[in-house]
């Protein structure tokens, strides 16, 4: 076995550090999916009639849809009747008014995850919404945000506090029938974050949602909706973890972003769902639909994702560039190890004039994993002078993993310029030898080389999280050199 | 310092070194010359610990310890440095980050605290100027897009930063113009000290005009076939390897 293989093996062996279970009494629905389950979810959340109708419509559509099979991933069929579609801590029943009223056991869970919620230890400059299984358990810095006119709350709360906005924009970017998992989410979504940035407001804090799956045999189906009014600006980050379990768990989220004239949303994800063990047992199926609609002129959206977790990732954060001069960006690092599989990328749909998009994708495969970049760049007939630049780099560690690139380009306007560059490289024995000859051990060398490879993406992350992401890569790679 | 006895080395089943002996004392500079394909680079790789080479018999003792028992990184931490003939690129990892990581790994091994950042920056800047590299290079990826000469100077700079006890230079002079050659020689001469040793592997005599060795050895067919003082190099320059009954291999 070569040096690099050995070093990577060692590196990957580290245990998943967020794999603990919180022992808390939960109110969990029995497994199964039918109309009455959907009615019960809706009733739990005391939803208005229109939303229940909306859910049922999605459910009807979903029943007629087929699971997508085009992705470069393999897994046994999911039995949708073996999943519980709602689970909430009992102590959360009477919706705590402030963080101080939240069950201390839940607060301890988030503290353990490095996301302290209580006043004393909060992350400076970051407002956090903590979602535990199917419900939000609290949001920090509410007053400060309210002062600025920013709305940041669980979507189930927004349904009551800002019904006109939810009604107007829910499903406007990702329609109910968009795809199999989006339809399922539309039928059964539980909680998630709602953000509204009023005209001309620059959000004074970073906003962040931390998703935690805790209960066994449940799925998490969160729904996030962010609306940036004219000339506003917001930076939003989501993080995700789950306990180690031998069964696969489903996470099928939908994220919708709406960006009006001159507004900007920066959306960052650090995804660290449980990836399964080294033999591929357990782990989260992360089947997610994320899309941004740049409706306004000069609007801008930037997706940055660091994907290290999940047994399977199926995710294509996309940008619909409708407004003239609008800009879409996608920066991605996807790392797969052991038997993980990832099929991820983006879609850039250019409709407006002078729209620009940039795609920088870094895929790292180690162990026996498989990672694919899949991206679509579509230039509509009216997209005069549209520009796209795509760069897809793959880094292989060892000789048992795979990397694939599937770029799709459709251009219907002659003035458009679309560029695509792709590279595949290996962490070479020569590189490792150079590092070791300088006194750096193989594990450290591999993580240094991998971090160097990801640099262009990491620099897009908010400062606090760039450090986090670097550490996360080290953990995820541990044992990949042997 | 370094004691090599009856060293036999194979790569991919082919024997390259066939009973090599070499003794280097503290403070000495040794030059190893020889035609292409004689095993010069193999010797440097084996001292540094490249695991692609198989040692079939013989021993290497470094500062009284069995060098062959030590892992590659351990040798480096104990003061063995190799200036590579073909330094590889590590994209995205800055020279600064690379050197700081190396220095701290070595310091950690020696029971020292991490290097003070301001002190490190000051040193890095000074040493880069010493080898005539623009300090802007420090922020670029390790050897990323460097010219051949820049890579060699970068190796010498790393050597000056790491202050090794035993420096092995593998054809560091090849492909350099005269100015770059002087820079490299100045760097090596700056390292010379009573407790430090240098082994220079070179194909040409001209480097030895600038770094005057204590001993010169001729390596051919996997063995050292002749040793002498600095005048041996001049003689070789004059008469060629044929004088020693060696044909230049076409490598």
> What string of DSSP letters covers B95-161?
HHHHHHHHHHHHHHHTTPPPPPHHHHHHHHHHHHHHTT--GGGGGSEETTT--HHHHHHHHHHHHHH
Q: Which of residues 89-118 of B touch A (CB under 8 A)?
A: 90-93, 97-99, 101-103, 105-106, 109
Residue pair A293/A322 in contact (Cβ under 8 Å)? The answer is yes
Q: Sort strands B90-94 and B141-142 into parallel, antiparallel or unpaired.
A: antiparallel
Residue in the structure block whose two tokens are 């949708």: A80
Residue pair A192/A223 in contact (Cβ under 8 Å)? The answer is yes
Q: Is A381 exposed, middle or buried (CB count within 10 Å of its CB: 0-12, 13-18, 19+)?
A: exposed
Task: Name B76's Cβ contacts closer than 8 Å, sequence gap at least 6.
Answer: A436, A437, A438, A439, B48, B102, B106, B162
Per-residue pLDDT 10s for chain B (251 aa) are: 999 999 999 998 899 999 999 999 999 999 999 888 889 999 999 999 999 999 999 999 999 999 999 999 999 999 999 999 999 999 989 999 999 999 999 999 999 999 999 999 999 999 999 999 998 899 999 999 999 889 999 999 999 999 999 999 999 988 888 888 999 999 999 999 999 999 999 988 888 999 999 999 999 989 999 999 999 988 888 888 877 777 654 43
Residues of chain B contacting A429 with CB distance shorter than 8 Å: 52
**Yes or no, beta carbons of B101 and A441 under 8 Å apart:** no
Q: Is B8 exposed, middle or buried (CB count within 10 Å of its CB: 0-12, 13-18, 19+)?
A: middle
Residues of chain A contacting B84 with CB distance shorter than 8 Å: 434, 437
Per-residue pLDDT 10s for chain A (482 aa) are: 444 445 455 544 456 667 677 777 777 888 888 999 999 999 988 999 999 999 999 999 999 998 888 888 888 888 888 888 888 777 666 556 666 667 777 777 777 766 667 665 566 667 777 777 767 767 777 788 889 999 999 898 999 999 999 999 999 999 999 999 999 999 999 888 899 999 999 998 888 888 777 776 778 888 999 999 999 999 998 886 766 767 777 888 999 999 999 999 999 988 877 777 777 778 888 889 999 999 999 999 999 988 888 788 888 999 999 999 999 999 998 888 888 888 889 999 999 999 999 999 999 888 888 888 999 999 999 999 999 999 999 999 888 888 989 999 999 999 999 999 998 888 888 999 999 999 999 888 988 898 888 888 888 877 766 666 677 666 666 655 54
- Distance between alpha carbon A256 and the CA centroid of its chain, in Å? 12
pLDDT at A336: 85
Shortest distance between the Cα of B81 and any Cα of chain A, in A, equals: 7
Residue in the structure block whose two tokens are 């560690």: A397
pLDDT at B95: 94
**Yes or no, beta carbons of B98 and A3 under 8 Å apart:** no
Nearest CB to B105; choose among A428, A439, A456: A439
| Cα A187 from Cα A185, distance rounded (Å) | 5
Q: How many CB atoms lie within 10 A of CB A67?
A: 12
pLDDT at A139: 75
pLDDT at B144: 92
Residue pair A308/A271 in contact (Cβ under 8 Å)? The answer is yes
Nearest CB to B92; choose among A3, A439, A453: A453
Give the predicted TM-score (pTM) of the model: 0.81
**Yes or no, beta carbons of A440 and B102 under 8 Å apart:** yes
Residues of chain B contacting A433 with CB distance shorter than 8 Å: 48, 50, 72
């Amino acid at each position: 076995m070569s040096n690099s293989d050995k070093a990577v093996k060692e590196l990957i062996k580290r245990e998943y550090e967020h794999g603990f279970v919180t022992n808390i009494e939960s109110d969990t629905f029995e497994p199964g999916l039918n109309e009455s389950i959907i009615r019960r979810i809706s009733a739990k959340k005391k939803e208005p009639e229109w939303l229940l109708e909306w859910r049922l419509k999605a459910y009807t559509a979903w029943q007629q849809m087929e699971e997508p099979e085009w992705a470069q991933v393999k897994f046994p069929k999911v039995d949708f009747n073996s999943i519980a579609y709602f689970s909430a801590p009992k102590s959360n029943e009477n919706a705590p008014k402030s963080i101080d009223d939240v069950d201390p056991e839940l607060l301890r869970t988030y503290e353990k995850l490095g996301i302290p919620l209580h006043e004393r230890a909060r992350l400076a400059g970051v407002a956090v919404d903590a979602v535990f299984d199917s419900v939000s358990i609290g949001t920090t810095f509410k007053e400060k945000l309210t002062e600025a006119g920013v709305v940041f709350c669980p979507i189930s709360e927004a349904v009551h506090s800002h019904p006109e906005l939810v009604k107007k924009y829910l499903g406007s970017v990702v329609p109910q029938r968009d795809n199999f998992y989006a339809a399922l989410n539309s039928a059964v979504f539980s909680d998630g974050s709602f953000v509204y940035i009023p005209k001309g407001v620059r959000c004074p804090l970073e906003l962040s949602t931390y998703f935690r799956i805790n209960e066994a045999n449940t799925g998490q189906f969160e729904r996030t909706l962010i609306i940036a009014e004219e000339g506003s600006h917001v930076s939003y980050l989501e993080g995700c973890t789950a306990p180690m379990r031998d069964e696969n768990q489903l996470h099928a989220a939908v994220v919708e972003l709406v960006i009006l004239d001159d507004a900007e949303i920066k959306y960052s994800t650090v995804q660290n769902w449980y990836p399964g063990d080294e033999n591929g047992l357990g782990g989260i199926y992360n089947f997610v639909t994320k899309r941004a609609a740049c409706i306004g002129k000069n609007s801008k959206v930037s997706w940055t994702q660091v994907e290290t977790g999940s047994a399977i990732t199926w995710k294509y954060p996309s940008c619909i560039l409708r407004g003239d001069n609008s800009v879409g960006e996608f920066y991605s690092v996807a790392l797969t190890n052991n038997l993980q599989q990832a099929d991820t990328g983006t879609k850039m749909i250019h409709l407006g004039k002078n729209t620009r998009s940039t795609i920088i994708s870094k895929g790292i495969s180690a162990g026996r994993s498989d990672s694919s970049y899949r991206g679509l760049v579509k230039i509509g007939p009216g997209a005069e002078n549209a520009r796209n630049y795509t760069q897809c780099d793959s880094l292989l560690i060892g000789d048992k993993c795979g990397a694939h690139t599937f770029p799709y380009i459709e251009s219907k306007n002659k003035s458009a310029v679309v560029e695509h560059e792709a590279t595949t490289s290996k962490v070479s024995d020569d590189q490792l030898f150079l590092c070791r000859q300088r006194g750096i051990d193989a594990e450290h060398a591999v993580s240094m080389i991998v971090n160097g490879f990801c640099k262009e993406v990491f620099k897009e992350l908010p400062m606090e999280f760039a450090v986090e992401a670097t550490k996360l890569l080290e953990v995820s790679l541990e044992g990949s050199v042997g | 310092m370094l004691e090599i006895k009856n060293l036999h080395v194979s790569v991919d089943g082919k024997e390259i070194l066939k009973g090599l002996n070499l003794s280097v004392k503290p403070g000495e500079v040794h030059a190893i010359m020889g035609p292409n394909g004689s095993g010069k680079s193999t010797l440097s790789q084996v001292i540094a610990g490249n695991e692609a080479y198989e040692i079939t018999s013989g021993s290497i003792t470094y500062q009284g310890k069995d060098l062959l028992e030590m892992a590659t990184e351990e040798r480096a931490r104990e003061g063995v440095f190799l200036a590579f003939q073909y330094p590889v690129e590590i994209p995205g990892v800055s020279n600064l980050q690379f050197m700081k990581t190396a220095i701290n790994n070595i310091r950690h091994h020696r029971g020292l605290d991490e290097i003070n950042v301001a002190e490190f920056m000051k040193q890095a800047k000074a040493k880069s100027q010493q080898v005539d590299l623009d300090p802007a290079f420090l922020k670029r990826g390790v050897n990323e897009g460097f010219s051949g000469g820049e890579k060699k100077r970068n190796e010498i700079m790393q050597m000056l930063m790491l202050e090794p006890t035993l420096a092995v230079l593998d054809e560091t002079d090849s492909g350099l113009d005269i100015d770059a050659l002087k820079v490299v020689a100045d760097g090596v001469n700056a390292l010379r000290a009573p407790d430090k040793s240098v082994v220079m592997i070179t194909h040409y005599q001209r480097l030895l005009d600038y770094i005057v060795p204590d001993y010169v050895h001729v390596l051919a067919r996997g063995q050292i076939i002749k040793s002498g003082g600095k005048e041996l190099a001049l003689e070789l320059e004059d008469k060629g390897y044929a004088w020693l009954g060696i044909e230049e291999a076409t490598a």
